[in-house]
Chain A
Amino acid sequence: DGGITQSPKYLFRKEGQNVTLSCEQNLNHDAMYWYRQDPGQGLRLIYYSQIVNDFQKGDIAEGYSVSREKKESFPLTVTSAQKNPTAFYLCASMPGQANYGYTFGSGTRLTVV
């Protein structure tokens, strides 16, 4: 079945370490997105990519980096520059026709220990 796979589901990181969250989709969607969700808050956009080898910063990109080398993959690196990385991270994709909705992955819960 087509969908978006995020891995791992749970991730623990020591302070000062970089960590990469995986997001893979087999839906042939052009656009991919990373959101962050904190308790009691709405989703906030970190980065998005509309085509391969191109991506744009969202509202809270500081301390994060992404790459889009393949259409299917959009990994997110949480760097040590991100001061408060503990959160629930969601990856989403959308077809090129813009009035379709997002398809979301099941999320990665990152905890800094």
Chain B
Amino acid sequence: DAKTTQPPSMDCAEGRAANLPCNHSTISGNEYVYWYRQIHSQGPQYIIHGLKNNETNEMASLIITEDRKSSTLILPHATLRDTAVYYCIVRVAHAGNNRKLIWGLGTSLAVNP
């Protein structure tokens, strides 16, 4: 699976949109982009995933560039509870391919009052 690159940290004001970038320039055509977040000392929480179209759910929006080499996770109105480490990973969509999943260090998002 492709490797991803994320900024180590970001700040966002409460109530503003948080835009978290992810670079995955070596992504293959059959790899999905997944986003998770991890609040301190808890298990990661699934946020959203997509292949090439933009996606939106109750938690966030995912914007994938046309060449699929990068994506942005958007939290439209960040709250203090959104303070967490956000992970962007890419994986082939079949259950057997897990050995090469690369979880990087993610982006530590601090939402400030």
Contact = CB atoms under 8 A, between A and B. Distances in A.
Interface residues of A, number: 33
Contacts of A48: 98
A107 interface: yes
Contacts of B99: 45, 56, 58-59
A78 interface: no
Interface string B21-51: 0000000000010101000011111100100
A7 interface: no
B95 A104 contact: no
A96 to B, nearest CB: 7
Interface in B63-98: 87, 93-96, 98
A113 interface: no
A110 interface: no
A94 B105 contact: no
Interface of A is mostly: strand
Contact of B101 (A31, A45, A90): A45
B96 to A, nearest CB: 7
B95 A31 contact: yes
Given A42-B102, A107-B41, A107-B42, A101 B34 contact: yes
Contacts of A106: 42-43
A30 interface: yes
B49 A50 contact: no
B41 A98 contact: no
B23 to A, nearest CB: 16
Interface in A78-113: 88, 90-92, 94, 96, 98-99, 101-107, 109
Nearest to B92: A98
B36 A101 contact: yes
Interface of B: 32, 34, 36, 41-46, 49, 87, 93-96, 98-99, 101-106
